[in-house]
Amino acid sequence: MNEFQEKILKICNETTKNTLMETLGITYVDVGADYLTATMPVTPAVHQPDGVLHGGATAALAESVGSVAAHIFLNAKDIMIRGTEITANHVGGIREGLVYATATAIHKGRTTQLWDIKVTNGDGKLISSCRLSTIALPKK
């Protein structure tokens, strides 16, 4: 990882203080020319009652990584990114360990963006396939 990538990840991780991302333990771990990856620990804190990862926690992870990716890759200083729609197809379960969410752009418009987010376990097995629509709004 180069110095620029490390700087981007440091900035991303600093923005999680006192947010849902911090509560869920989300950490941004990798960034490339067209993707951003975050991790989230799977512990009882993010389980549903039967002891597997809760779909809502998965959706929160996906929206977090997709929204931050939109902000990074639009490279605009005076905008806010807001999620407008998220879908999540949960295809696998996980009880413990880390999940990895990687966001890649399907469409990067100036106003609206569409992100594909794959959530996998440590072995690369697909847990959830998500789509996130975002909108870029001017800061007030």
Query: Given strand 97-108, what is the order of strands in its sheet?
Result: 27-31, 35-42, 97-108, 112-120, 126-138, 79-90
C-alpha to C-alpha distance for 87 and 1, rounded to whole angstroms: 31
**Is the Cβ–Cβ distance between 100 and 35 less than 8 Å?**
no
DSSP three-state, residue 30: strand
Packing angle of the helix pair 3-14, 55-74 (nearest 10 deg): 130
Measured between alpha carbons, how far is 127 from 89 in angstroms, rounded to an integer?
9
Is 85 catalytic? The answer is: no
Q: Which of 3, 63, 85, 96 is catalytic?
A: 63
Q: State the catalytic residues.
A: 63
